[in-house]
Structure 1
Amino acid sequence: MATVEVSLKDIMTAVEGALGAAVVDYSSGMALGTLGGGKDLDLTVAAAGNTDVVRAKVRTMELLGLTSRLEDVLITLGNQYHLIRPVTGRNGNGLFLYLVLDRARSNLAMARHQLRRTEEQLEV
């Protein structure tokens, strides 16, 4: 099991092209931890905004009667990928991992794999 801080460090070092990462509580929109980002990427604002994305998807799945688990959400921008992965472990209900990647330097499949591994080991 890994803490929020250790999990974020693992993501940022293991994923080529990672620009920023966060662990977010989607019931409140607050980031429990962030790493990376900068003047062009305010992870606190992004975390709060992406809370709406997660809530909307969960609500839509409920309305449709879908029983599958939400694995991840991918948002593709011109020069970035934004990955959102809900945390499903026993302590992760209501949390998601958020990762921003440089599209030119990253491998999306490897980033998804690393987020899955991190999500499984996260202890909050």
Structure 2
Amino acid sequence: MVIGQSGSSANMDVAAAGNTEVVRAQLKLLESLGQTDSIDDILITLTTQYDILRLLGEHPSMFIYLTMDKSKSNLALARYKVAECEAQLVL
């Protein structure tokens, strides 16, 4: 479920629901493997865009979802800024 959104993506609810399944699958895999690490973020690269899923440390069932145009983006800076947003987020 999308709590907030900025930008013009009309399909954000669909994308968020689909990415929720990606996060659940990765968390389940880590559990199955007995991993004690936690996920910081998940990067999905498409032909024309980057998607960053940043899990919230205190609430791992929630995540920040950022999608951006590959040709206009700085991936390293975007990951840094998403982590910064997470640190400032109050739930």
Q: TM-score interval w.r.t. the shorter chain? A: over 0.9
Shift of 1:123: 1.0
Q: Shift of residue 44 of structure 1?
A: 1.1
Distance 2:31 2:65 in 1: 22
1:86 is paired with a residue of what secondary structure?
strand
Q: Which ranges in structure 1 are unaligned for 5 or more consecutive residues? A: 1-29
What percentage of aligned pairs have identical amino acids? 43
Q: Does 1:103 align with 2:74?
A: no
Determine helix, strand or coil for the equivalent of 1:49.
helix
Residues 1:68 and 2:68 are matched in the alignment: no
TM-score computed with the length of structure 1 as normaliser = 0.70
Q: Deviations over 1:83-106 (max 9, x none)?
A: 0000113xx342100000100010
Tell whether 2:48 aligns with 1:85: no
- C-alpha displacement of 1:37: 2.9
CA distance in 2, matches of 1:93, 1:60: 14
The answer as to 2:20 corresponding to 1:51 is yes
**TM-score, structure 2 length as denominator?**
0.93
Which residue of the other structure, out of 26, 32, 38, is the alignment partner of 2:3? 32
- Residue ranges of structure 2 left out of the alignment (5+ in a row): none
Q: 2 CA distance for matches of 1:54 and 1:93?
A: 9
Q: How many residues align?
A: 91
RMSD over equivalenced CA pairs, Å: 1.1
The structure 1 segments of at least 4 consecutive aligned residues displaced by more than 3 Å after TM superposition are none
Q: C-alpha offsets along residues 22-74 of structure 1, whole Å, 9 cap, x if unaligned?
A: xxxxxxxx1111111334xx111111110000000000000001111101111
